[in-house]
Structures are given as C-alpha cells and as structure tokens.
Structure 1
Amino acid sequence: MTVHPMNPEAGAGLEPDGCCAPPVPPSGCTLVDLIWRKGEIEYWIRFGRFRFKWVQDRERRTLGFAPGSVFAFVRWTANGYGTTASRIDILRAVEADQPCQTIPHVQPGAEILLKLHGWPRVARVLEAIDRIEAIGISPGDVAPDYWRHLHHRLSANEAPHRYTRLRHAAWLKRREVMP
C-alpha cells in the first residue's frame, strides 16, 4: 500500500502515474485552497470549523466547510518591494443547489458576508475578530448581519459598532424562530 508522505490518511488509491488519488471530500462541502510560501503568498483561514482537510504538500492544503459554516479567508501576496495585495473575505458555505458568488480559490463559491481589500481595512477586520473572541464568542457563530454591517462601515471609512454579548443573544433568539 502506497500512502502520500504528506497525508498518510489520504488512502491507498493510486493514479495511473503512481501518485496517490486525492481524498474525496464529503458531499456538499465548500472547498478552499490554501497556499503558504513565506513572505510571498499566504492564503489562510482566520476562523471557521472545517470538516475536511487534505494536505497536498508543505505549501498547499485544501479545507472543506459544511453548508452553513461561516469562515474568514485571508489572502496576502508580496514581492521584493513589499505587499502587493491584502484581502479578507468572510464567507458562508452554501448547499450545492443554492446560489453563490464566486471567489478565487473557493469551490464552488460561497455567500459573501464581508469582502475587503487593502491592509488598513483587513487589519481592522482582524481587530474586530480579536475583540469578538475576547468576549468569549466564536466568530463563526456571529450574526451574519454583523459581518455585513462591518463590511459596509469599513468600506465607507466609518467606525463600525462593536459586536456585544447582548447582540449575540438577540441573534441566537432570532435564529431559534427563523424557518
């Protein structure tokens, strides 16, 4: 039995060229391709609960998120002169038959709750995530409306409202009665 050296749990199925077949993600997963080349390209997940992981090699991984999962996807690139792009997307994985927006490195796509670029705005989103975690709330459980609010306020260079435990409790109650 041949096992991929970077992913021993991938299984023993071999491709015609002798390489291991990639694992099959659970159906309905939204797949996110991550890349990490230090100082050059860094695509990573800031928060989110994945249910599938495939380590392709030292630089590349694929994560799968169940429908309804909310996660933050950060993309950063640089060259010899410094940062060339900084982006953050807060996304909700969708069911296979639901409409979705396309996002690079996300298959088939997702519902965009927040989409910002430029390091100052990305940094403010990361600070907001840190504040949410500091009050004991998982960012993946935050009301989707808050991420939209944060997107619109930061896009307009306005100060966003803070996410509070009271706002979170209201979201949890609203979610209980939603169909």
Structure 2
Amino acid sequence: MNGRFSTPPHRRAASLTHVELTWIEKRIEHWLHFGHRVDEQILDDRRRLSSFAPGSIFAFVRWASNDLGATVSRVDIVRAVEAGSPFQTLPFVRPGGEILLRVDSWPRVERVLRAIDAVDALGIDPADAAPDYWRHLHHRITARHEPRSYTREQHAAWLKRRQVTS
C-alpha cells in the first residue's frame, strides 16, 4: 500500500453539488454561464448533470416560455458547499448551495450577464472573482442602483485575502 487513500466514488459524489441542465429549444433552457465542472453526465438528449466541487462558484441561468412568451428568466450565482455545511435550496441544484446572487426578470438577468462579461473582459475568470462582488451586484440590482464594476485591484485583494485565510 502506498499510504495514499482515495475517496470512494459514492462519497466523492455525495460531496459534490449537482446541477441538472435541460435544453428544449425555445421552451426550457437551463444552462451554466460560467463555472468549473469536475464531472458531467449526459442523462438523455435534452438533459445533463454537471457537478461542482465544494467552494466552486458557478452561474446557473434558467429560462422558460410557453405560447404566450417567457415565463421564467432567472440567474443564480452559487458557491458549492462542503458536505454537512448549511446551504440554501435552489431548483435543479442538489443539494443546494450558498446563493451569492439571485435575480429574475429578463432586464435584470441581462444586467448580470453584462457584468459577468465585463469581469471576463478583464481577463479574470468569473468563477474566480470575489464572492463579495457577486453579493454586491445582487444587492445593487435588487435596490435598482448602479453596481460598481469589478476591478483588477479588487481581484488582487481577493486573491491575497484568500491566501491568508487558507
């Protein structure tokens, strides 16, 4: 024996956060805008299951419509939690996660998508941005105020803070 222990597959799967994605063109469209998957399983031709390690941040977009138009437009930015940690529930996310941002209605969703694109334009992966920025964005959009832009300086400070607290 080499002294290394690996986590059994059933325990490893239990520690992950699973997101069910569905794509039925122009009816139900659930997709990830960003995030680092550790696993993906194809369930059928319209559904797949993406899995995230604890601490991972991802953006989950849900859109649905019927014959009268859009019925759901929502984006959630979520941090996957450790097994046994408290979490918030969210449809199609098992078991749930720490919700950093929750926005509905297409105009607000569009603002969030633009903010995500702005972080990406800085050369920063949105999944690596400071969780506090996503909370800030949520609060400012909810209050109908203009959010501050994410900056490279803010990101550098977040990376240093993360090093010190790890």
Q: Do these two structures clear the TM 0.5 threshold for a shared fold by scoring above it?
A: yes
Structure 2: 5+ residue runs without aligned partners?
1-8
Report Cα offsets for 1:47-98 as digits up to 9, x if no partner: 0000111101110000100000000000000011211110000000001110
TM value normalised by structure 1: 0.85
After TM superposition, where is structure 1 displaced by more than 2 Å over at least 4 residues in a row?
23-27
Paired residues in the alignment total: 157
CA distance in 2, matches of 1:169, 1:112: 23
- What is the aligned-residue identity percentage? 55
SS at match of 2:94: strand
Report Cα offsets for 1:91-149 as digits up to 9, x if no partner: 00001110000000100110000001000000000000001101100000000000000
More helix by share: 2
Q: 2:30 aligns with which of 40, 43, 58?
A: 43
- Report the counterpart of residue 5 of structure 2 in structure 1: none
Q: For the aligned residues, what is the CA RMSD?
A: 1.2
TM value normalised by structure 2: 0.92
- Report the counterpart of residue 132 of structure 2 in structure 1: 145
CA distance in 2, matches of 1:158, 1:89: 19
Structure possessing the higher radius of gyration over alpha carbons: 1
Structure 1: 5+ residue runs without aligned partners?
1-22
Alignment of 1:79 with 2:66, yes or no, is yes
CA distance in 1, matches of 2:148, 2:136: 8
Alignment of 1:177 with 2:164, yes or no, is yes
Could you tell me how far 1:26 is from its partner in structure 2? 3.1
Could you tell me how far 1:27 is from its partner in structure 2? 3.8
